[in-house]
Amino acid sequence: MNPTDVKRALRKSIIAERDALSDVERIGKSAIITEKITSLDAFESAGLVLAYMNFGSEYDTRELVSRVLESGKALALPKLKKDRSGLDLHIVTDLAGGLEEGIWGILEPKGGDLVEDSSLVDFFLVPGVAFTRQGDRLGYGGGYYDRLLCKKRADAATIAAAFSFQVVEQLPLEDNDLPVDRVVTELDMHVRNF
């Protein structure tokens, strides 16, 4: 099987397992993950946090983004560019009135100040379908976050939140696939060896 087919099959399998979680399980596991992430030194010291609004059966980001705002940090959320060529990052100060449903049903900022350069972000919460213990990441296939992460500062933290079954032994990687520093699950925290 070629790498593209392997990625497609793995995405399908992991998403099916995620979809099989009950809401109670997903919310409970997400709460544990949120506690771990918000206790990280990198989170506590961050001034500008890039997060995302979950969709479907992903890790539930709502509590985390609320905590970012409650802590006085600046919160940036991604919005798909109209031509789908990448993501714009917008500062969000109001979750209740500042979001709207985007093209794939994902909540996105209605507006807000644009973060002109992703190198301004101190802490990246990065979505994905599967990860390795070494921080390798399988996203949804658009390459949006790989393009963002290649412009980040060397000292900016990159964190993935995932359920433990999303951590696999190995992923087929391409040159443009960028790893994250840590993969945080309800059971473990995997730190990439630099």
| pLDDT tens profile 22-36 | 999 999 999 999 999
How far does Cα 2 stand from its chain's mean position? 26
Give the pLDDT confidence score for residue 4 in this predicted structure. Answer: 86
Q: How far is CA 52 from CA 3, 80, 151, in A?
A: 27, 12, 18
**Reported confidence tier of residue 177, pLDDT bands at 50, 70, 90:** confident
Whole-number mean pLDDT of the chain? Answer: 94
Is residue 159 classed as helix, strand or coil in its secondary structure? strand
CA angle at 117 for the pair 111 and 123, rounded to the nearest 5°: 90
| pLDDT tens profile 134-170 | 999 999 988 899 999 999 999 999 999 999 999 999 9
Residues paired with 157 in a beta bridge: 123
Closest to 178 measured CA to CA, from 149, 141, 139: 149
- The half-sphere exposure of 56 on its side-chain side, counting CA atoms within 13 A, is 13
| pLDDT tens profile 50-87 | 999 999 999 999 999 999 999 999 999 999 998 988 89
pTM as predicted = 0.95
Correct CATH for 3-191 of 3.40.1410.10, 3.20.20.70, 3.40.50.10420, 3.10.640.10: 3.40.50.10420
